[in-house]
Amino acid sequence: MIWNIPNILTVLRLIAAPGVAIMFLYFHRPWADWFALALFVGAAVTDWFDGYLARLWKQESRFGAMLDPIADKAMVVIAIMVITGYNGMNPWLILPATVILFREVFVSGLREFLGPTGAQLKVTKLAKWKTTAQMVAIATLFLGTGLEYLNGVAMAGMTPDQYADAVAAGLADPVRACGRRDCATVAGDTGLVLIWLAAGLTALTGWEYFRKAMPYLRDRK
């Protein structure tokens, strides 16, 4: 293993993956949400820089090529686990999350089964777009989850109508709005649209890898 900057960034991204969940163990909400969001976004940025710097400085290595997709998958899987837990197991989130998790496990198992032949399943441009879509969607969902918690604190168990009356009477602070809707709803709905888009790209790339692997999976007569 060579300790150059691209590899160090990849290792830091791998360490950041469980750190997203750990934020919720050591910090109260909404600070845990904001710290998890900052950590996830920071780690996602390194996903672009480590590859770019490795190519720019000609420091590409077998270790980096091996660890980079592992770090990406760890980030996505752990973040999705946290988000689904704090979103009350929303079925509109569970379905695309299941597609993403299934594909990641399937492709990893496929590469492991193929062994040295698995090197033929190189990362495609579409797969890179898939990873970007996943990370943008997850970051948006983290934002929505944090804002939703703040809304819950502000409403203090009141129904939307009761809360509106309390605001009108000057007994409660208004929730920050984005146009005619509260920002938590806007961020949450945007995150759901993005995660469905990411799930579609994820399923498409999974099928693409499976199709390329088919010649190596046929039994020899």
**What's the CA gap between 82 and 74, in Å, rounded?**
12
**Cα–Cα separations (whole angstroms), residue 160 to 16, 45, 211:** 37, 38, 50
**What's the CA gap between 198 and 111, in Å, rounded?**
21
Burial class (CB in 10 A: 0-12, 13-18, 19+), 19: middle
Q: Is the peptide bond before 30 cis (omega within 30 degrees of 0)?
A: yes
What local confidence, expressed as pLDDT, does residue 3 receive?
A: 81
**What's the CA gap between 96 and 85, in Å, rounded?**
14
**What's the CA gap between 159 and 24, in Å, rounded?**
27
Q: Where are the domains of the chain?
A: 5-217
**What's the CA gap between 33 and 149, in Å, rounded?**
9
**What's the CA gap between 22 and 72, in Å, rounded?**
18
- Domain spanning 5-217: CATH 1.10.10: no
Q: What is the pLDDT along the chain (221 residues), one digit of tens a residue?
A: 678 888 888 888 999 999 999 999 999 988 999 999 999 999 988 888 887 777 777 777 777 777 888 888 899 999 999 999 888 778 899 999 999 999 988 988 888 787 766 556 666 778 888 889 999 999 999 999 988 888 777 777 777 677 777 777 776 666 665 655 678 888 899 999 999 999 999 999 989 888 888 877 776 65
What local confidence, expressed as pLDDT, does residue 195 receive?
A: 95
